Amino acid sequence: MEVLQTERLCLRAFEEKDLEDYYAYCSDPEVGIHGGWPPHQSREQSREQLQQLMEQKNSWAICQKDTGRNIGLVALREDIRRHRSPQNCRVLSYLLARPYWGQGLMTEAVQEVLRYAFEEMGLQLVSTYRFSYNQRSGRVMEKLGFVHEGTLRQCTERFDGQLLDVMCYSMNREEYEQWKQKNSR
Amino acid sequence: MEAEKQSIKTLYTQRMELRSFSMDDLDEFHALCSQEEVMLPAGFSVSKDREESKKTLEQYSQCRTMWAVCDRTSHRLMGAAWMDGDPLRRLKMSEARMIGYLFSKECWGKGFATELGEELLRYGFEELGLLLICAGYFSTNPASGRVLQKLGFTEEIFMRGAYQCADGTITDNIDCSITREEYFQRKGIEQIKTLSTERLLLRAFTMEDLPDFYEYCKDPDTGIHAGWKPHESIEESREILHHFLEEREVWAICEKQSGKVIGSIGLHHDSKRRRNFDECRMMGYVLSKAYWGQGLMTEAAKEVLRYAFEELGLQMVTISHFSYNQRSARVIEKLGFHLEGTLRKAFLRYDGKLLDDVGYSMTKEEYQTIYHGEKK
């Protein structure tokens, strides 16, 4: 899997040594709630998921360049909501450990992943979804120029039984090119 | 419920019959599957030959989510309709479904789609008790959008590049939905609000719940605690269920995992009993014996209390149990009700026994203190 570099971050495949960092942010209830999942209860649970991540292509561990610590993940997976081949359309998902919020790190990582998606993987469309209460994520999507397609009401049942609305976004190749031009000026 | 597992329920509209497919439909089915302008906008491919149509028909005739749509008088096959899991939502089949349909070209423009859609919505919300129904259409097929709009659907999302058709072209999909509340509002039927907890869904009863309802009502240990006689026949349960449907004060308690109705909980108007002001309701509940001891009743009652005080704005909720029903006493105490006292010989049970009734209440202020830690 290709290693991606930004100013402050290195995006690489997950490794077994990431377990402590991975468990630390997955057991934080404030992190999981935005993905609609309950905090991890044990290292074992994190270890299992980490194993799966290590096997997945296009799931990157977001690492801080100066400390080497794993502080989050970003992935391009098949979008099961769209009846499309993953060769030309994928869904973007990400999460970031709480101590690193508010520094523009996620925007920095996603920007590089979008470059990779459109310029190297040759995708036509990248979609992404968020729960309506996750406004932090909404700001990342808007900053990067994703188009809000609409909101699916009562879309997912959270672990505590609450029914959540899901907001849907996408970016096509033309929009990516436009955004790139605007931001390189 | 059992019957539905084996084959799809036959439905009727004024002009159409919706029944399961059978291999006898092959000639007409093949004619339908060969119409490009019918198949492509519905997201299907055109059948290459009779053999391929036959294979598809074999699948459809086994399928519990697919109807053959026929003319009620001539019995000719007009099209197909389906009600499947919602591909966009992570919800169960008992909570949300997607509907779709296609009609042979000679049936277009005669209002059949709207007539069919109305019946599918009625079946989904009134019989299956769904929370939400969704439907989508391709941006190249605006006629379908007009039908959905007429049926009361809301356009939720214009999903770009959502579907790669059989011929390779990629099209945008517009997804629409209608919620249970919206459906009943349109029909002018006032419905009890659906509530959701970790393990339970509280929703209005439907007549489809009768087998589950009868199952626990006939159990001698379940009813006796509420002071009623175990039901002796499904007819008796049917009458009481009818009453629940008309009264609209009672929720069916559904176990989310199985979709099974395992009890009921209600907020009853208390005026004929001990308190005569409108902002007071009396809570009553029953839970199938097989589900005792898992904290399910407490879970349901907590959510109903929240609804009562925070959404209905009630001033007081009361509850009582017969003195011998210690299981219920524990639930009531866990919920934080205030014990008022025991009305001795307050209730004549069906078997002639006089029962003592232990009464409790909770005020709005007490609720705030217990559940939100607010001090006066």
Task: Give residue B244's pLDDT band: very low, low, confident or very high (50, 70, 90).
Answer: confident
| Same domain (yes/no): B278, B226 | yes
> Which of B160, B184, B208 delimits the end of a domain?
B184
**Mean pLDDT, range B346-371, rounded to an integer:** 90
What digits encode the pLDDT tens for the residues B223-236?
877 788 899 999 89
Residue B5 has pLDDT above 60, yes or no: no
What digits encode the pLDDT tens for the residues A98-135?
999 999 999 999 999 999 999 999 999 999 999 988 88
| Same domain (yes/no): B236, B179 | no
| Same domain (yes/no): B291, B255 | yes
Is B162's CB within 8 Å of A80's CB? no
Rounded to the nearest angstrom, the minimum Cα separation between B62 and chain A is 24
Residue B192 has pLDDT above 90, yes or no: no
Chain B interface, Cβ < 8 Å to A: 43, 87-91, 95-96, 131-132, 154-164, 170, 175, 177, 179, 196-200, 256
Average pLDDT, chain B: 90
Rounded to the nearest angstrom, the minimum Cα separation between B255 and chain A is 12
| Same domain (yes/no): B222, B354 | yes
Furthest-apart CA pair in chain B: how many Å?
79
From the list A82, A157, A163, the residue facing B159 with the nearest CB is: A82
**Mean pLDDT, range B72-100, rounded to an integer:** 92
Residue B375 has pLDDT above 60, yes or no: no
Residues in chain B with CB shorter than 8 Å from the CB of A165 are: none
H-assigned helices in A14-104: 19-26, 29-32, 43-55
Residue B259 has pLDDT above 60, yes or no: yes
Count of domains observed in chain B: 2
Residue B117 has pLDDT above 70, yes or no: yes
Residue B343 has what pLDDT?
Answer: 86
Full set of structural domains in chain A with CATH: 4-184 (3.40.630.30)
Residue B181 has what pLDDT?
Answer: 86
> Which of B135, B156, B184 delimits the end of a domain?
B184
Decide: helix, strand or coil at residue B182. helix
- Cα–Cα–Cα angle for B28, B31, B33, rounded to 5 degrees: 110
Cβ contacts from A onto B, under 8 A: 87
| Same domain (yes/no): B59, B154 | yes
Rounded to the nearest angstrom, the minimum Cα separation between A42 and chain B is 21
Please tell me which residue of chain A has the smallest CA distance to B87. Answer: A81
What digits encode the pLDDT tens for the residues B305-314?
999 999 999 9
Residue B120 has pLDDT above 60, yes or no: yes
From the list B157, B161, B164, the residue facing A152 with the nearest CB is: B157
Q: Report DSSP letters for A3-24, one per residue.
A: -EE-SSEEEEE--GGGHHHHHH
| Same domain (yes/no): B198, B109 | no
Rounded to the nearest angstrom, the minimum Cα separation between B116 and chain A is 24
| Same domain (yes/no): B180, B201 | no
Rounded to the nearest angstrom, the minimum Cα separation between A163 and chain B is 8
Which CATH number covers residue B55? 3.40.630.30
> Which of B184, B206, B227 delimits the end of a domain?
B184
Give the strand pairing for B96-103 and B132-138.
parallel
Residue B376 has what pLDDT?
Answer: 42
Task: Give residue B96's pLDDT band: very low, low, confident or very high (50, 70, 90).
Answer: very high
Residues in chain B with CB shorter than 8 Å from the CB of A150 are: 155-159, 175
From the list B96, B160, B163, the residue facing A170 with the nearest CB is: B160
> Rounded distance, CA B330 to CA B321, Å?
10
| Same domain (yes/no): B264, B357 | yes
| Same domain (yes/no): B226, B172 | no
What digits encode the pLDDT tens for the residues B327-352?
899 999 999 999 998 888 888 888 88
Task: Give residue B4's pLDDT band: very low, low, confident or very high (50, 70, 90).
Answer: very low
Residues in chain B with CB shorter than 8 Å from the CB of A85 are: 164
**Mean pLDDT, range A31-52, rounded to an integer:** 92
Residue B223 has what pLDDT?
Answer: 80
Is A163's CB within 8 Å of B197's CB? no
Domain of B204, in residue numbers: 192-372
Please tell me which residue of chain B has the smallest CA distance to A159. Answer: B198
Please tell me which residue of chain A has the smallest CA distance to B168. Answer: A84
Rounded to the nearest angstrom, the minimum Cα separation between A146 and chain B is 12
Please tell me which residue of chain A has the smallest CA distance to B173. Answer: A82
Residue B273 has what pLDDT?
Answer: 63
Residue B25 has pLDDT above 60, yes or no: yes
| Same domain (yes/no): B152, B260 | no
**Mean pLDDT, range A138-165, rounded to an integer:** 89
Is A161's CB within 8 Å of B170's CB? no
Is A83's CB within 8 Å of B197's CB? no
**Mean pLDDT, range A73-86, rounded to an integer:** 93
Average pLDDT, chain A: 93
Residue A97 has pLDDT above 90, yes or no: yes
**Mean pLDDT, range A88-93, rounded to an integer:** 95
Task: Strand B200-204: give its sheet, edge to edge.
Answer: B195-196, B200-204, B250-255, B261-269, B280-287, B316-322, B354-363, B338-348
Residues in chain A with CB shorter than 8 Å from the CB of B160 are: 125, 147, 149, 170, 172
In percent, the amount of chain B with pLDDT more than 90 equals 63
**Which residues is B250 bridged to in the sheet?**
B266
| Same domain (yes/no): B150, B259 | no
| Same domain (yes/no): B35, B136 | yes
**Mean pLDDT, range A4-21, rounded to an integer:** 97
Is B164's CB within 8 Å of A156's CB? no
Closest CA to B266 of B278, B248, B292: B248
